[in-house]
Amino acid sequence: MSLRLTQALPALLAALSLGGCATGAVLADRTMAPVLDRALQRQAVGVQQQQPVFTLPPVQEAAPAPTAMNAEPSPAVRWLYGSGESAAASIQTYRQLADYGARAAATPPAQSVAMGMPDVEEGVGTASCRTRDGGRKPLAVVFDADETVLLNRGHEYWRSGTGAPFSADSWSQWERDGITQVAPVPGALNTVRALRAAGITPIYNTNRSIENAKGTIAALAAAGFGETVVGEDLFLRGMDSTGSNKDARRARIAERFCVIALVGDNLGDFADAFNARELGIQERRRLAGRGEYAQLWGNGWFLLANPVYGAFDRGTLDEVFPPDARWSPTPGAAPATLNEGTK
């Protein structure tokens, strides 16, 4: 049974029995998610209604001690949270998505967009847009939340000002009460409204924790995205046993919806296999640009730029720059100065 925010928010912190389809990305993006994985009970209540059962712990109110804000933001933070270039880039992506959604609404597809890599072990691939009795599934777009529709300005302000490294504890507190310090990613609200007007359901598949569902529901609402319901249009980390991976949640969403597009800021928002730790960074880059996947970017898969954090954030100098990319100036070959030879 789904519980609506306006009716029973406090009940989410006591016991939540979910209906509909069951289902990442700050914790996963920072590779902190495996530390927080928990074993969860699961209860079968029918083929179409199989759902985990969750008992949420009480909210912890402890706050970190105040810290002096005397550090400066990195170039990546300046770009994502403060630059006009960042706003323009996200508006561009969201405008492309709105146009894509309008076309899909006019001519509904026969299959959902690829939600994972169909050619890898346990890959998800596509799902039919028809129900078992031959009817049409409702159209949907699946969004990541953090730095895809929500800008976590308050949390990054605190980290940038203090120079503090990422902390699972402080992030969990942010999930619970960082509500009014979020902002919508530029372009996201207008596109979500346009999708709804076209009959397309926005669904949020995030690696925010199920334990902090109340805070995430409130943050989405505060940013203007409206009311969300866990298990219906909001899917969180901890709703199944796969931890920070999203393929299983995407598959469950596709049982009820015809998913026309995926939107995220990390390759794991499109396929878990992109974030396999055994992939070297250049191999991961080549995989994202491989023919069958390259054709999906802007054509069912829509990526938002996020240079602040993510699975991309690894690799040595030599791994980032292969041998054919290395250059340095030749000693003694510097250009002559403008005033050379003057008296």
The answer to the question of residue 76 being in a domain is no
The answer to the question of residue 327 being in a domain is no
Asked if 224 contacts 155 with a C-beta cutoff of 8 angstroms, the reply is: no
The answer to the question of residue 67 being in a domain is no
Residue 108: Cβ within 10 Å count: 15
What is the full per-residue pLDDT of the chain (343 aa) written as tens digits? 444 434 433 443 333 333 333 333 333 343 334 333 433 333 333 333 444 434 444 444 444 555 667 789 999 999 999 999 999 999 999 999 999 999 999 999 999 999 887 655 555 568 899 999 999 999 999 999 999 999 999 999 999 999 999 999 999 999 999 999 999 999 999 999 999 999 999 999 999 999 999 999 999 999 999 999 999 999 999 999 999 999 999 999 999 999 999 999 999 999 999 999 899 999 999 999 998 889 999 999 999 999 999 999 999 999 999 999 999 999 876 565 555 555 5
Mind listing the pLDDT tens digit for each residue in 70-123? 789 999 999 999 999 999 999 999 999 999 999 999 999 999 999 887 655 555
The answer to the question of residue 342 being in a domain is no
DSSP 147-215: TTTEE-HHHHHHHHHHTPPP-HHHHHHHHHH--TT-EEPTTHHHHHHHHHHTT-EEEEEEEEEGGGHHH
* pLDDT at 336 (0 to 100): 59
The answer to the question of residue 15 being in a domain is yes
How many DSSP H helices and E strands does the chain contain? Answer: 13, 10
Model pTM score: 0.78
Residue type, 107: T
Reading the block at residue 185, the tokens are 């990613």
What's the sign of the alpha-carbon dihedral 63, 64, 66, 70? Answer: negative
Q: How many domains does the chain have?
A: 1
The answer to the question of residue 72 being in a domain is no
Label the pairing between strands 150-151 and 234-237: unpaired
Q: What are phi and psi of 197, to 5 degrees?
A: -65, -25
The answer to the question of residue 301 being in a domain is yes
Q: What are phi and psi of 98, to 5 degrees?
A: -60, -45
Domain that holds residue 188: 5-55+85-313
* pLDDT at 118 (0 to 100): 61
- What is the rounded CA–CA span in Å between residue 173 and residue 64? 9
Mind listing the pLDDT tens digit for each residue in 280-315? 999 999 999 998 889 999 999 999 999 999 999 999
The CATH number covering residue 130 comes to: 3.40.50.1000
Nearest by Cα to 204 from 136, 156, 148 = 148
The answer to the question of residue 338 being in a domain is no
Asked if 77 contacts 156 with a C-beta cutoff of 8 angstroms, the reply is: yes
